[in-house]
Amino acid sequence: MAELNGPRLEPRAGGAARQLVVFLHGYGADGNDLIEIGRAWQPLMPNAAFVSPHAPEPCAMAGAGRQWFGLTFRDPGERWRGVNSAAPILERFLDAELERRKLPPSALALVGFSQGTMMALHVGLRRAAAPAAIVGYSGMLVMPAEEVTDALAAEIRSRPPVLLVHGDRDDLIPAQALFQAGQGLAALGVPTEWHLSAGIGHGIDGEGLRHGGEFLARRLGTIR
């Protein structure tokens, strides 16, 4: 299985990184799609390194884009199978990046958009040591088609604080997914905050970026 790679930003303050923020892009994009968010957040997290890996598979529906897993949008179980299939390669990447920078697992934060949010929540809640935080834009909490709450809860190994951000005019993944994810996370004992961006479709506005950056900075201890 191929290893992940993608664009990186070194700490603005120079020297060794004290935190690691990993961006997980959406279906049909690649790592370049989100890395500039790191540049916008550098003033809040000057000692953080940022990395935005390209997803492991070419996207069948998006030319040069990438996907964490394939989607037909016709099979209700494909997301669940997809996040489970893609999780091991992402786990290896996260462990390798932390090791390369000599950082503890608690210095990690995950930021996803759309399909990347599905991956961030799925992997982040199953890591042996909890990340510092997860921010999920325009995504959802992927559950098995047959919602077996006890079995699902048994998979959860960590409960990092989560911020969910969604546009109220998202016609690709409707905003209802934010509230479903919030309820699902609460049922699993995961502390969750959310922000609904007025007038925004399947994207991220300035207010959503501000909320995400400040949330991470507080959880990583770079601002109070």
CA distance 208 to 194: 10
Element (H, E) at 167: strand 162-167
* Residue 45 pLDDT grade (very low, low, confident, very high; cuts 50, 70, 90): very high
- pLDDT 10s digits, 53-78: 999 999 977 678 999 999 887 887 89
Domain presence at residue 60: yes
Residue 65 is part of which domain span?
A: 8-220
Q: Residue 206 belongs to a domain with what CATH number?
A: 3.40.50.1820
CA distance 176 to 88: 29
- How many distinct structural domains can be found in the chain? 1
Q: What is the percentage of the chain residues whose pLDDT exceeds 90?
A: 85
Looking at residue 146, its pLDDT comes to 67
pLDDT higher than threshold 70 for residue 224: no
- pLDDT 10s digits, 13-37: 999 999 999 999 999 999 999 999 9
HEC letters along 86-110 = HHHHHHHHHHHHHHHCCCCHHHEEE
String of DSSP letters for 149-187: HHHHHHH------EEEEEETT-SSS-THHHHHHHHHHHH
CA distance 45 to 43: 6
Looking at residue 186, its pLDDT comes to 94
* Residue 149 pLDDT grade (very low, low, confident, very high; cuts 50, 70, 90): low
pLDDT higher than threshold 70 for residue 51: yes
Paired sense of beta strands 57-58 and 162-167, if any: unpaired
Phi, psi of 120 (to 5 degrees): -60, -45
CA distance 55 to 69: 8
Distance from the Cα of residue 83 to its chain's centroid: 12
CA distance 30 to 212: 20
CA distance 59 to 182: 29
CA distance 179 to 161: 16
Domain presence at residue 101: yes
**Mean pLDDT over all residues of the chain?**
93
- The whole model's pTM is what? 0.96
pLDDT higher than threshold 90 for residue 1: no
Domain presence at residue 3: no
Domain presence at residue 2: no
Percent of the chain that is helix, strand, coil (3-state, to 5): 35, 20, 45
Looking at residue 147, its pLDDT comes to 61
- The residue with greater pLDDT, 129 or 149, is 129
Please state the rounded mean pLDDT for residues 104-120. 98
CA distance 97 to 218: 22
Domain presence at residue 1: no
Looking at residue 13, its pLDDT comes to 93
Domain presence at residue 81: yes
- pLDDT 10s digits, 155-186: 899 999 999 999 999 999 999 999 999 999 99
Paired sense of beta strands 108-113 and 57-58, if any: unpaired
Looking at residue 27, its pLDDT comes to 95
Looking at residue 63, its pLDDT comes to 75
